[in-house]
Amino acid sequence: MAQEAMPTRSRGGTASPERPHAKARPTSRSAAASGDSPATVAGIRISHPDRLIYPDLGISKIQLARYYESIADWIVPHVAGRPLTLVHCPAGIAAPCSFLKHAKAWGPNALHRVRIQEKTKVGEYLVADSIEAVISLAQMGIVEIHTWNSTADDLERPNRLVWDLDPGPEVSWRPLVKAAELVREVLTTLKLTSWVKTTGGRGLHVVVPLKPARTVAECLDFSRAVSEAIVRADPEAYTTAFPKAGREHKILIDYLRNNRTNTSVCAFSPRARPGAAVSMPLGWNELREPPDRWTILTAPRRLARIKADPWAGYWKGAQTIPGASLAAVARLSAS
């Protein structure tokens, strides 16, 4: 989320947030030719347009590209400016898929690349700043788009925090909603406003937009301390332990999404799973029903129907973690 908004570039090169348009663009009518003839979406050539990405729903490669075009004004703010980690399914989700982290020289021209120093080497990552770039990802056979918490302009100072709530197989929807609301309540006490979205799976993300002021280490320590405080208050319901054995009835509060090179699924990105569910930003009052209803097929209809963006305040809501809040959670973590 390039400052989670359509990026405007200041002279210093930092993306500054603007509220995105709250309307989806019309879907392209450039029909795929028969067989494997190429077609174009938003000027991007789509090879093998009829290749099925989701065989269970009959959703083809060109339909995935048109999905992105139809929600251009919604998805671009969430992806622009951020280094990407991607799930590559060149033959669709029924065939083997793989994580794609480093771009090397691969990718259409609408995408650009950023070189990032890692622990032992320099990695080259793709960045998508436009709908043409997002559609180029679909052309490459990318199904899932995952984004960093910082932008390429300011890698060491995140401009968001994410708590990923991952329910064990025995946890139902209502306790998960309660967990998200609890995280929100704790953050409110710490003077931070948060937003919620589905993950395209069974989980929820609680997201806090930040001014890029704190370091990655400070943000990670803060998110860890918040998570551990919640777990100490109710260890029967929550955990920060990742091994699946023993947490069938618990909700994992995953704060490691806030580590430097870790990512979380981009809003509106589909998942590489049957059903074509997408990660959907919601209002806090929209959590009554489980999230599997939001898919590539239903998301554009929702966005065309809603009168207001439930994340409208997010785009102007960048905050700084108060020093008093950092100190408070540090004390809790040490106790």
Q: Is 135 exposed, middle or buried (0-12, 13-18, 19+ CB in 10 A)?
A: buried
Please tell me the predicted confidence (pLDDT) of residue 331: 82
Q: Where are the alpha helices (DSSP H) in the chain?
A: 61-70, 72-79, 131-139, 173-189, 216-233, 299-305, 323-334
107 touches 79 (CB < 8 A):
no
Within a 10 A sphere around the Cβ of 306, how many other Cβ atoms?
12
Within a 10 A sphere around the Cβ of 31, how many other Cβ atoms?
10
Closest CA to 160 of 333, 4, 324: 4
Residue 153, SS3 per DSSP:
coil
Distance CA 50, CA 181 (A): 42
DSSP conformational letter for 98: E
Distance CA 302, CA 317 (A): 24
Distance CA 208, CA 309 (A): 16
- 98-124: b (≥16 Cβ within 10 Å) or e: eebbbbeeebeebbebbebeeeeeebb
Q: Is 248 exposed, middle or buried (0-12, 13-18, 19+ CB in 10 A)?
A: exposed
Question: Which domains does the chain possess?
Answer: 37-147 (3.90.920.10), 156-335 (3.90.920.10)
Please tell me the predicted confidence (pLDDT) of residue 36: 52
Residue 76, SS3 per DSSP:
helix
Distance CA 4, CA 312 (A): 11
Q: Is 297 exposed, middle or buried (0-12, 13-18, 19+ CB in 10 A)?
A: middle
Structure tokens at 51: 């290749």
Torsion of CA 141, 291, 262, 11, to 10 degrees: 80
Please tell me the predicted confidence (pLDDT) of residue 30: 40
Please tell me the predicted confidence (pLDDT) of residue 24: 37
Whole-prediction pTM? 0.89
pLDDT in tens, the chain (335 residues): 333 333 333 323 333 344 444 333 434 444 433 445 679 999 999 999 999 999 999 999 999 999 999 999 999 999 999 999 999 999 999 999 999 998 876 778 999 999 999 989 999 999 999 999 999 999 999 999 999 999 999 999 999 999 999 999 999 999 999 999 999 999 999 999 999 999 999 999 999 999 999 999 999 999 999 999 999 999 999 999 999 898 999 999 999 999 999 999 999 999 999 999 999 999 999 999 998 999 999 999 999 999 899 999 999 999 999 999 988 888 877 77
- Side chain identity at residue 286, one-letter code: E
Within a 10 A sphere around the Cβ of 2, how many other Cβ atoms?
28
Sign of the alpha-carbon torsion through 273, 277, 283, 286 = negative
Please tell me the predicted confidence (pLDDT) of residue 108: 86
67 touches 300 (CB < 8 A):
yes
Distance CA 157, CA 256 (A): 16
152 touches 162 (CB < 8 A):
no
